[in-house]
Amino acid sequence: MVAINLLSVALATLAVAPRAFGSPLEPAVLEARGRTHNGKETTDRPVIFPYPLNTGKKFDETPKTTKTCFVDALGNGLDDGPNILEAAKKCNNGGKIALLDDLYTVRTPLDLKLNKVDIELQGTLKFVDDIQFWEKNSFKYEFQNSSSFMQIGGKDVNIYGGGTIDGNSQKWIDAHAVNSWVWRPILITFYNLDNAYISHINFRYSPNWYILVHTSKNMIFDNVSMAGGSSSANAPANTDGWDTYRSDNIVIQHSEIDNHDDCVSFKPNSTNILVQSLDCNGSHGISVGSLGQYPKYFDIVENIYIFNITMTNATSAGRIKVWSGEYAKPPSWVEGGGGGHGRVNNVTWDAIRLKNIDYAIEITQCYGQSNLTRCAEVPATLKISDVLFRGMYGTASKKYDPKVGSLVCGGVENCNNIYARDINILPPSAKSPVFACTNMNQALLDIPCV
């Protein structure tokens, strides 16, 4: 059996307390004990730690705050961004930024480099939907042409309060339906951040990914709610919940996600990450990748544990997606890719409950290349090893009935020690479930391959 060494705590099944998808978190879950401003009171920061499992790595306690900067909303659609930035400057190095009003309108890119700072958000932080402005002024990142309304970096940061960060996405949804090149911002990026705790925050209506964890480490996300949608006939696109990139020692736990792409996605150089006790609805699964898109980089995803997840109405549950061995640019892709190097190593999906899933397991080394014959001729250079799918049970959708999974490696040497154990997925027809398996060691797969 493949060695799985990430976790330092024995596995245990944890029941997730139900909550309706998209229902906001209540500030009342935090004990009110602080300073009063305009009739509202600040609260103590919640105590957050990995539970029931942990990564085996250290998370430091952040210092207590010594001063508070209240931000009063201007109202009438006026831009509160400059006042938020000023509060961040005044209360940096040991203070709390208190956003207690009902609605803050933001037209200013928020670049917050913080040290020993709490952000308490009780109301809603809402970005204006001026597409032309944000195309010019959002924060840009090289990876996959991404950009963001807001980025937070620094050290020892806590964000909490029961409030909402709202991306006001409808205009972007409709614009993207007409032109896929429209630059749609990520809701929030944590960039060069060390030792942070984000809890009891609602993320709503992102034009693109909800959260990008970029070049950061030692972070815990706990009791987070994500949801979005569309009021038109056009559906949201690329609304990943979390994307991790060049980041280490990250915990994502006890949260609910209702979105239209990956619930969590581990992008290049994501290491030592624990995802546990999530409810994911409408997603593309919890995914490794895509990897191998850029030939000049060596991509690593290593030491990942996904535990106790409920996955509902999704295209996949556990997914690994690697680009093929040569550059490809299908017409639907904004960017092409392929031929990149790297490895996927020591990744586990464990105790996954499925409801109406197209594929329980999906592995491809032909991402971006629809011609499987050509993919085999020029197989992926990125290797996959020591992967375990265990304790996956529930129901499949009718889309591929009776097929409930697809495991495709570009070459027989590319995938090593891929295990599937205790997999019990029922297609709606009640036929015997089958998995499509290509270039896999079927002796390690306790599933029926065709």
Catalytic residue numbers?
Answer: 284
Is residue 425 a contact partner of residue 393, using CB atoms and an 8 Å limit? yes
Is residue 162 a contact partner of residue 29, using CB atoms and an 8 Å limit? yes
Question: What phi and psi, each to the nearest 5 degrees, are found at residue 129?
Answer: -100, 45
Is residue 317 a contact partner of residue 273, using CB atoms and an 8 Å limit? no
Distance CA 427, CA 343 (A): 33
What end-to-end distance do the CA atoms of the chain give, in Å? 23
Token pair listed for 5: 């060494």
Is residue 221 a contact partner of residue 244, using CB atoms and an 8 Å limit? no
Q: Report the DSSP beta bridge partners of residue 279.
A: 256, 310
Is residue 54 a contact partner of residue 8, using CB atoms and an 8 Å limit? yes
Dihedral (CA of 5, 8, 12, 16) sign? negative
Buried b (16+ CB within 10 A) or exposed e, 264-300: bbbbbbbbbbbbbbbbbbbbbbbbbbbbbbbbeeebb
Token pair listed for 214: 């970029």
Q: Could you tell me which residues come within 8 angstroms of residue 309 by beta carbon, excluding any fewer than 6 positions away?
A: 275, 276, 277, 278, 279, 280, 286, 317, 349, 351, 352, 353
Maximum CA extent, the chain? 69
